[in-house]
Structure 1
């Protein structure tokens, strides 16, 4: 009887204090891809469970290079500082559509594939974005010539070109296999930062209807090609309201997670503007996530060169607050950027000014790194 009343009490407290998406760990969770592999479904369920415990920490290109090093086996700037790897690894497949050997940041696709396999073997999770070229002009993703997206839709003059690009992406996704020959689940973030106007698929460069059509076509075509190891992540940049965030949303049957990207700028030295903005946006997507039963995430974030020695615990942690996000991914540690004559990195490395604070951040119960999730995801 005592156990029964205890169970009722816990259920009541959780039901009142948290949204369903924070605690929904049952086996009825379903992905938008109804033919998703068992491994992909399992990862999705574990992500729901982990969101109740804390948020996963991620880092772009973490295993490929860092500040003053490149392609050193087993190395990671995060591991150099903490002795542990990130829980989430970010990658980008721009260049794949052209048949390039290396991606937009110079990472060979062969190495990227190996890093994804290595991370998966340790329990790590990989997420992939795609800064693909403008199909209408042949220029890069930042060529925001209006109406370019319209040309990839069925009946559009670049539709065949786009399907050929998707064929190459499908082949890459299907080549990602673990030691048992199973396809490795990937968090796929296509058409990212869609509320910004700097990409050819962004705001002002296509209509919401065109964007939704492009998303749905991409979603359905990849499945038609046999790709069933993707968790689809809808991703924006800044937004001001629920309506703004959902303007281009393709529908609950076409997305599994909702997210946004956010960066602190140099004109915000105290970080207060960053904290306020992130809190505002997390409040909005937290409500959307609860209504739609979708996980939420900050898919890109950072403060270039992390000049604040207490940024991790005094700014980033305050920005996230008590919101139950699935993960946050910090952008890449490129190092010296010759064209702009400056250092370009977003995570600490040995000797960096915020290293000690990052270790304090790492030691918190709510920050989940690879060692924290290894048992959960096996």
Structure 2
């Protein structure tokens, strides 16, 4: 009963605070910075030309290299950078020196600046520790979300974590001194069952209340450089109704997206293509109906053992729908921490068996990389 009261209080506090009207093509934050507004509007224009290619941690490291100035595996293969660059806030809750992937936060800040300066797009997720148990993001006992909503036992603790994140987000500035706009993807992959915010331990009402609290709290701290990305996994999403079950409302979301990975060849490849096609059709319809952008926020095939995966499988799976971007997960390289230990990467590097096909993918008329988006002047 206590949790239910906390949820209802949170909902009543947030619903009344934000206008339900939203101008199409404008971000939900009415006080968004000039550059954030420009980025959001220009992303609508960019998708008419094609979809942007993204890569997680692209500038920090790749297969068999780390922290080499100006390098990325994508650039090694194509001579060009990605258009979208993924980063993470994980660790900021505890004021850690390094984020969850081991990148020092000060280095990450510099990478974000480089991306903005060259006209690329930065996106962040947050693999936050569990505020209830104190363990990592993958520890998911029931009741965590309820405990951090207004009235919950750990609400003040969570606010402190949000303060740390807000302080960091406000340090992200370009060489022009302006705040860098960020595509922020909170509580990602919530339709799965692996994170503490996932639907197996969280009701739709709790999730919506947490989402709304997050938006309003960041705004109250002066964070007006975020574009908010609603993100499911492929798990438990068969229909539009499944996708929208936890949707907090048009006045709270800027981009709709999903994450999906290919788990193998043969039938698993067929499943990946069919599932991706279905989900792309869903987000395309939702985006059109609700005046939002749509994206595949994470995808990939570990070690890319298919030499034609880019122009074959991935291209077929996306089809002709006008999504904003597709982001591949990180190129860690050899990973002793995995079971079994193995090469862990999702984008090609120079000499990798799918590299030649990736160059063909790069040269397609509807794939956008850094050089194309630089010309679009997304922040003007």
Q: Give distance in 1, aligned partners of 2:346 and 2:253.
A: 28
Displacement of 1:28: 6.0
CA distance in 2, matches of 1:353, 1:79: 16
- Residue 375 of structure 2 aligns with which residue? 375
Look up the SS of the partner of 1:343 in the other structure: strand
Task: Go from structure 1 to structure 2 and tell me whether the alpha carbon gap of 1:111 and 1:333 turns closer, same or farther (over 3 Å shift).
Answer: same
Structure 1 residue 30 displacement after superposition:
1.5
Structure 1: distance between partners of 2:206 and 2:241: 17
Q: TM-score, normalised by structure 2?
A: 0.91
Q: How does 1:1-378 map to 2 (within 5 A)?
A: 29-238=25-234, 239-266=237-264, 268=266, 271-340=269-338, 341-377=341-377
Distance 1:172 1:325 in 2: 29
The answer to whether the Cα contact below 8 Å between 1:268 and 1:274 also exists between their aligned partners in 2 is: no
User: Aligned residue for 2:12?
Assistant: none
User: Is the Cα–Cα contact under 8 Å of residues 25 and 291 in structure 2 kept in the other structure?
Assistant: no
Cα contact 2:26–2:37 (8 A) shared by 1: yes
Counterpart Cα distance in 1 of 2:267 and 2:99: 33
Aligned equivalents of 1:121, 1:57: Cα separation in 2: 18
CA gap 1:292/1:28 in 2 versus in 1, 3 angstroms: closer
Deviation at 1:81, TM superposition (A): 0.3
* Deviant stretches of 4+, over 6 Å: none
In 2, Cα distance between equivalents of 1:344 and 1:319: 22
Is the 8 Å Cα contact of residues 297 and 327 (structure 2) preserved in structure 1?
yes
1:269-318 deviation line (CA, Å, top 9, x unaligned) = 67222111100111111111111011000000000000000000010000
Distance 1:268 1:191, change over 3 A: farther
Mapped to 2, the partners of 1:191 and 1:98 lie a distance apart of 18
RMSD: 1.1
Counterpart-to-counterpart distance in 2, 1:206 and 1:274:
27
- The runs of 5 or more residues in structure 2 that have no matched partner are 1-22
In 1, Cα distance between equivalents of 2:272 and 2:352? 22
1:29 to partner: Cα distance: 2.4
CA contact under 8 A between 2:348 and 2:358: conserved in structure 1? yes
Give deviations 1:15-55, integer Å, cap 9, x for gaps: xxxxxxxxxxxx96221101101100000011000011100
Total equivalences in the alignment: 352
Report the Cα distance in structure 2 between the residues aligned to 1:273 and 1:195, rounded to whole angstroms: 18
* 1-structure distance, mates of 2:356, 2:347: 12
Contact conserved, 2:185 with 2:231, CA < 8 A, in 1?
A: yes
Residue 298 of structure 1: SS of its match in structure 2?
Answer: strand
Query: How far off is 1:206 after superposition?
Result: 1.0
Deviations 1:246-278 (A, max 9, x none): 111110000100000000002546722211110
The alpha-carbon distance between structure 1 residues 133 and 328, as it changes in their structure 2 partners (threshold 3 A), is same
Following TM superposition, by how much is the alpha carbon of 1:106 offset from its aligned partner in structure 2, in angstroms?
0.4
The question of whether the paired residues in 2 share the 8 Å contact of 1:92 and 1:130 is answered with: yes
Aligned equivalents of 1:136, 1:180: Cα separation in 2: 40
Q: 1:268 to 1:91 in 2, by over 3 A?
A: farther
Could you tell me whether the CA contact under 8 Å between 2:148 and 2:155 is conserved in 1? yes
| TM value normalised by structure 1 | 0.92
